[in-house]
Amino acid sequence: MKQVRWLAVVLSLVFLFTGCSKPPEAEQKAAKSAMDAAMSAGADKYAAADLDAAKKKWDEAEAQVKDKKYKEAKPTYIDAKAAFEKASAGVEAGKKAVADQVNADLATLEGTWKNLDATAKKMEKKIQDKDAWTNDAKAMTEGLAKAKEMAASDPGAAKAKMDEVKGMMDKWDNAFKEMAAAPAPAPAKPEAPKKGKKG
């Protein structure tokens, strides 16, 4: 009879330690929710370092659950949640920093555009593909206007637009330099007068 009771106690303890050990679903759900919020806020653009650190914590917790290390996973999910919240909080500061940089770069780019446009007017006769210049000039003007419009609301998109415009400007700047360096065609030599036959 003692053996049966002893076996029941041992089985109860085994059940207690294995049966009660389950994945920390509440903590996992909370961390996932914080991750989604960070992504929606734009942490991937404006708080990338904090977001990467949070993702590492998340991956660590996920690996612990996979290995059935539920006790270790619980605090790791809590740390991941806190890290995702930090990334969300860093978005505004990151956005402001990018916006400030965009505004500074925009002023420089507008100056570059004025110089490029002035150069194009001087070299108008040398531009062989005038349609290409006209189309690109229009695209650059519109791109600068669009970047200026987006600078405050979506500085990341404004920066991408400016990079696109800068690429076009660089292309034409190089083309104009090549045109300026090209030697002017030599003037045609006048034909020597033909000598009449002596009769």
The pLDDT of residue 64: 95
Confidence class of residue 95 from pLDDT cuts 50, 70 and 90?
A: confident
pLDDT at 136 over 60: yes
Integer Cα distance of 46 and 63 in angstroms: 27
Count each helix (H run) and each strand (E run) in the chain, helices first: 7, 0
Each residue of 146-161: pLDDT tens digit?
Answer: 998 888 888 888 988 9
| Residue 174, both tokens | 């190089």
In 46-127, DSSP assigns E strands to: none
| Mean pLDDT of the 71-88 span | 94
- Whether this model's pTM surpasses 0.95: no
d(CA 5, CA 21): 24
Which is nearest to 139 in space by CA: 114, 169, 111, 159?
169
Q: Mean pLDDT across the stretch 117-141?
A: 89
**Mean pLDDT for the stretch of residues 22-41:** 94
pLDDT tens-digit series, residues 103-116: 899 999 999 999 99
- Residue-level pLDDT at 19: 45
CA geometry: angle at 156 spanning 153 and 159, to 5°? 110
pLDDT above 90: percentage of residues in the chain: 52
Indicate the domain borders of the chain. 22-91, 95-181
CA distance 65 to 151: 43
Between 7 and 83, residue with greater pLDDT: 83
Decide if pLDDT at 61 tops 80.
yes
Q: Whole-number mean pLDDT of the chain?
A: 85
Q: Is 92 helix (H, G, I), strand (E, B) or coil?
A: helix
Residue 192 confidence (pLDDT) above 90: no
Higher-pLDDT residue of 127 and 2 is 127
